[in-house]
Structure 1
Amino acid sequence: MTTYADAPVANRNATRRAKNRWFAQVGWRHLVGVLAVVFSLFPIVFVCSAALNPLGTLSSTELVPSGGMSLGNFSELFQRTAFARWFLNSLLVAGVASFASVFLSALAAYAFSRMRFRGRRVGLLSLLLIQMFPQFLAIVAIFLIFTTVTDLWPALGFDTPWGLFLLYLGGALGVNTWLMKGFFDTLPRELDESATMDGATHAQVFFRIMLPLVAPILAVTALLSFIGTINEFLIANVFLRDANSKTLAVGMYGLLQGNERNTNFGIFAAATLLTAIPTVLVFQLLQRYIVSGLTAGAVKG
């Protein structure tokens, strides 16, 4: 028989069992989430601290700068390097390459999705197969081709953003085409037929009806192309040798070469923060399209 003296003990045991049950079912997920957030934020906090550290060296970098904070690394970045030029080159190449690759991929995806022609299946499988091999494997052949192109048309050769733009344009077509084709397949064909019955041409159907409906996947492919292009280093490092033609990845890599790695770390951290601004802005502008664009074309029907 339970007495009044045993009631508080029973209540504490019930409360303890309820807390254990909550932790076993839900609480551990919160703990994992907090650990993941801390793990993700640590590099960002470290880079921000290094960029604001007035000492500006790798050996003196601390999570919380003991000597105070200043914007000296940012001003020194623009005074000692051609960062503004690198920034403009990266925005130019990434922006133009992203727009052109998305437009061409949309044209190809519309043709593969809505039209039936000889070689359609072979073309789709070829695009998929080519994407299994990284573009850098062909760097020797591309280098030899651009050696001749530089002699004939210097404006499209080495040390020019337009030559690099042509390289990036070909490398992004395969993945973007497959993503967009899956999205086009989810659109009912009755839309095309109705527009055709009203006298619309294929171009009018594509630009006036299809493109507005596939805006989510256009935003997603544009974002992926922009991030991949602005962060690309290997090919850009081979083709861009002049200081004024470098992109952000190539120029910032030069800050950490040789014995300058320690002394230029603060400047490098400041450049890293400025480099992240375009990507964050593009992501925020296209954020509402991302989830629907990535999932809508995953299942046909």
Structure 2
Amino acid sequence: MTEDRIPHAETTVGQNATLVVSAGGTDEQVDTAIAGTARTKPARPERRRGFGKWFGATGWRHLIAIVVSIFAVFPILYVVSASLNPHGTLTGTNQLFSSIGLDSYIRILTDPQIPYPMWFANTLIVASVTGLTMVVIGALAAYAFSRMRFAGRRVGLITIVVVQMFPQLLAVVAIFLMMSAIGDWFPAIGLNTLTGLILIYLGGALGVNTYLMYGFFNTIPKEIDEAAKIDGAGHARIFFTIILRLVAPILAVVGLLSFIGIVNEYVIASVMLIDPEKQTLVVGLTKLVSNPRYADWSAFSAGAVMAAIPVVVVFLLLQRYIVGGLTAGATKG
């Protein structure tokens, strides 16, 4: 008699709920019956996948990620080890961190014959001013090409693309002669000036960055502009209050790439800047190892490690704009 009154362990959730409802039970009793049946239902043991199936599904990705990480991190470790080696030679740094010391960092910061602080400051000034100016002017030009219709618009876009096919290195001689002539009339923007170098950098990379931002501006729905125009907003207000917030990711990418490219640029900076105190980091550090007999590789490595700090800081500051897409959910549908 007892076995007939006890419900079987394999009774389904729907059967228990039906019995309670048919007996005139309340909603709370129905929920209790469902929860009780779910607890009494035996759980099936999970089958563990073999190593072969796991490796074929996701394991090979972890292996490739580890190999790529080692390949990318090893040069950084080697440079850091060379900067901490007080002997100043690359042959003594084959064993990583065999000897550790801060002599190279102290020497490059305090030696009067190595104006490293001036190189560092010049690089930050040129890279920061050029990057910010390039982002502002490029965004204005991209907005005009994307939202406005005017004579010569198509020809201007094609010209930007065609000009970028020729590397700036081909124009080094022309740039030197032009800046030398300009320096005779306007010494503030001629040779051996940071202002002249900034102007050259702006002219060289402004076209490709404008075209890059132009493609991103086209992805912003034009309905946003039309809604703002109905409320009485003009182009300036739409651009500075609405569009700039939506295109923040591409502005961050352009600014970061411009900053990194200018910090690492050597050819034009070596032609433009002659005074050692006005040179940039790349030009100045190259002189430390230009003579193989007296090359100070330890000081060079120390300077390279410190030169990488601003790039890392800028990347960390702009990371949230690069990763996140701010245009999601701007319009319905």
TM-score by length of structure 1 reads: 0.88
Q: What do the CA deviations read for 1:205-257 (whole angstroms, capped 9, x no partner)?
A: 21112112211111111111111111111110111111011001100111111
Matched, 1:79 2:107: no
User: Aligned partners of 2:77 and 2:189: how far apart in 1?
Assistant: 41
Matched, 1:48 2:87: no
Single out whichever of 52-61 and 267-276 deviates more from structure 2.
52-61
Which residue identity is paired with 1:247? T
Q: CA deviation at 1:295?
A: 11
Summarize the Cα distance change of 1:28–1:200 in structure 2 as closer, same or farther, 3 Å threshold. closer
Which residue identity is paired with 2:207? G
Structure 2 residue runs without a partner (length 5+): 1-47
SS in 2 for 1:122: helix
Which residue identity is paired with 1:229? I
Matched, 1:188 2:215: no
Q: CA deviation at 1:199?
A: 2.4
Q: What do the CA deviations read for 1:88-136 (whole angstroms, capped 9, x no partner)?
A: 0000000000111111100100000001111111111110111111111
Matched with 1:129 is: 162
Matched with 1:10 is: none
Query: Out of 198, 203, 206, which is 1:165 matched to?
Result: 198
Contact 1:155–1:162 (CA under 8 A) maintained in structure 2: yes
RMSD: 2.2
Contact 1:219–1:286 (CA under 8 A) maintained in structure 2: yes
Q: CA deviation at 1:198?
A: 2.4
Which residue identity is paired with 2:65? G
Contact 2:81–2:96 (CA under 8 A) maintained in structure 1: yes
Contact 2:191–2:272 (CA under 8 A) maintained in structure 1: yes
Single out whichever of 135-144 and 27-36 deviates more from structure 2.
27-36
Query: Out of 48, 52, 58, which is 2:90 matched to?
Result: 58
Q: CA deviation at 1:142?
A: 1.2
Matched, 1:204 2:237: yes
| Larger RCO of the pair (alpha carbons < 8 Å, separation 6+) | 1
Single out whichever of 57-66 and 120-129 deviates more from structure 2.
57-66
Query: Out of 112, 124, 138, which is 1:91 matched to?
Result: 124
Which residue identity is paired with 1:235? I
Q: CA deviation at 1:260?
A: 4.9
Contact 2:130–2:201 (CA under 8 A) maintained in structure 1: yes
Q: CA deviation at 1:57?
A: 1.4
Which residue identity is paired with 2:276? A
Contact 2:263–2:281 (CA under 8 A) maintained in structure 1: yes
Matched with 1:281 is: 313
User: Aligned partners of 1:261 and 1:41: how far apart in 2?
Assistant: 28
Structure 1 residue runs without a partner (length 5+): 1-14
SS in 2 for 1:64: coil
Which residue identity is paired with 1:65? F
Single out whichever of 143-152 and 55-64 deviates more from structure 2.
55-64
Contact 2:246–2:326 (CA under 8 A) maintained in structure 1: no
Which residue identity is paired with 2:59? G
Single out whichever of 218-227 and 188-197 deviates more from structure 2.
188-197
Single out whichever of 148-157 and 190-199 deviates more from structure 2.
190-199
- Deviation >4 Å, runs of 4+: 292-296
User: Aligned partners of 1:168 and 1:191: how far apart in 2?
Assistant: 34
User: Aligned partners of 1:272 and 1:261: how far apart in 2?
Assistant: 18
Highest CA radius of gyration, 1 or 2? 2
User: Aligned partners of 1:101 and 1:87: how far apart in 2?
Assistant: 21
Matched, 1:109 2:113: no
Query: Out of 41, 53, 68, which is 1:21 matched to?
Result: 53
User: Aligned partners of 1:135 and 1:295: how far apart in 2?
Assistant: 34
Higher helix share: 1
TM-score by length of structure 2 reads: 0.80
Query: Out of 257, 261, 275, which is 1:242 matched to?
Result: 275
User: Aligned partners of 2:294 and 2:246: how far apart in 1?
Assistant: 49
SS in 2 for 1:60: helix
Query: Out of 170, 186, 190, which is 1:153 matched to?
Result: 186
Aligned residues: 281
User: Aligned partners of 2:95 and 2:294: how far apart in 1?
Assistant: 19
Contact 1:52–1:70 (CA under 8 A) maintained in structure 2: yes
Q: CA deviation at 1:160?
A: 0.9
Contact 1:220–1:293 (CA under 8 A) maintained in structure 2: no
Contact 1:45–1:63 (CA under 8 A) maintained in structure 2: no
